[in-house]
A and B are shown apart, each in its own frame.
Chain A
Amino acid sequence: MTLIAESELQSFVLLRLGDRRFAVAATQIAELVPPSRIFRFPHHTGDVEGVILRRGRIVPVCDVAEKLIGKGLKSRRFYLIAQRRYAAQTEWVALPVTGDCELINAEMTLPSDTDAPHVSGWLSHAGDVIEVLNLAALTPGPSDIAAVTPPLQPLEARP
């Protein structure tokens, strides 16, 4: 059984990565910009390529293609600048995409328990079933530190 999240239509931006399309809630999108120079410096966060300068802001570039389609992007046409929510604040992240983006209105179906954490729902559009992305699960952030470093377990007495 599937549940319809809301009977009202919501707006989504469809983005293309290789042959596949994905969706992000339009409320999370800041803008679509042409590729600009990436500034790289040493760091250890695997999914972040570097940063771009946009409107005076320094925006990290997160290539999510490896996670979503299993391979990195050889070419990119735009950066989709999205708002990524963290615990106490929201920051911009730039997602490289390979084709035009499209704004659509659709009903979202809620994810099931078996869906990957980066899936926040599903859309049916033009004969395709499209994943709606949960950017908080897809792009790196402070929770990744917790995932890498297991929390300390209380010591317990063993016989």
Chain B
Amino acid sequence: MRPNYPIKSPAPRTEQIILFRVSGQLFAVSSASVQEVRGVDSLSGAAKEISQPSLRKVKHVVRRGENSVYVVNAAMHFGLPPAPPALVFVLRSTRTALLIDGIEKMTSMSRLQALPLAFCHEERGWYRGLTALDQSVVPVVKPDGFLTPEEIFLLDASLSQEAEAEASRIAEDSAQHGIDTSMAQ
């Protein structure tokens, strides 16, 4: 007689997520997508202002190595009432840093349901899907859904224009300084 071994069902695959709040609304993001979490205060020295009138959700840019990372206000991105952000997520493999109110908790999800097809506008680009957690439904954001390639192109163009303007201003200042120096001599 062969012994009855208990049949083990395979453990469900899970994904670590961070639940975070923006203007009181709960969202989730894959932990693997978050490269860094920083306080907003720590950005103040490194961030440079940027103005692109058609993209009011981006007001700052941070240099990180070769790249410029654009700081997106998540409340403005989602059309939520403004709330003072406290934290920044630097999102991995994107050029986006996200201003959020705070982290609720870290947990894991075992099932991600595709966004129902009834949702048929911009939100399809915002969310990877929805997950049910503790009898609640939480949208799981797409890290690359905060800035489209066209928006990044616009911001890059705006940044290079500002850099050119800055360079020409410095050149003019130096020329002016040179004239002043030669006159003084």
Q: Point out residues on A near B: beta carbons under 8 Å.
A: 39, 41-45, 47-48, 51, 53, 56-60, 62, 84, 86, 89, 91, 93, 139-142, 144-145, 148
CB of B117 within 8 Å of the partner chain: yes
Given contacts A41-B25, A42-B80, contact A60 B121 (CB under 8 A): no
Residues of A within 8 A of B78 (CB): 42
Q: Which of B27, B118, B130, B136 contacts A45 (CB 8 A)?
A: B118
For the A-B complex, the count of residue pairs with Cβ-Cβ distances under 8 Å equals 72
Q: Is the CB of B116 within 8 A of A44?
A: no
Q: Point out residues on B near A: beta carbons under 8 Å.
A: 25, 27, 78-80, 113, 116-123, 126, 130, 132, 135-139
Most buried by A among B80, B119, B120, B130: B120
Q: Is the CB of A39 within 8 A of B137?
A: yes
Q: Which of B117, B121, B137, B139 contacts A91 (CB 8 A)?
A: B117
Q: Is the CB of A142 within 8 A of B117?
A: yes
Q: Is the CB of A59 within 8 A of B116?
A: yes
A139 to chain B, nearest CB (A): 6
Q: How far is the CA of A51 from the CA of B117 in the complex (A)?
A: 12
Q: How far is the CA of A111 from the CA of B121 in the complex (A)?
A: 30
Top 8 nearest A-B pairs (CB, nearest first) are: A42-B78, A39-B137, A44-B121, A43-B123, A60-B118, A60-B116, A41-B139, A144-B120
Q: Is the CB of A48 within 8 A of B132?
A: no
Given contacts A41-B139, A42-B80, contact A84 B121 (CB under 8 A): no
Residues of A within 8 A of B135 (CB): 53
B112 to chain A, nearest CB (A): 10
B8 to chain A, nearest CB (A): 23
A60 to chain B, nearest CB (A): 4
Given contacts A42-B25, A56-B132, A57-B113, contact A48 B119 (CB under 8 A): yes
Q: Which of A39, A45, A56, A84 contacts B119 (CB 8 A)?
A: A45
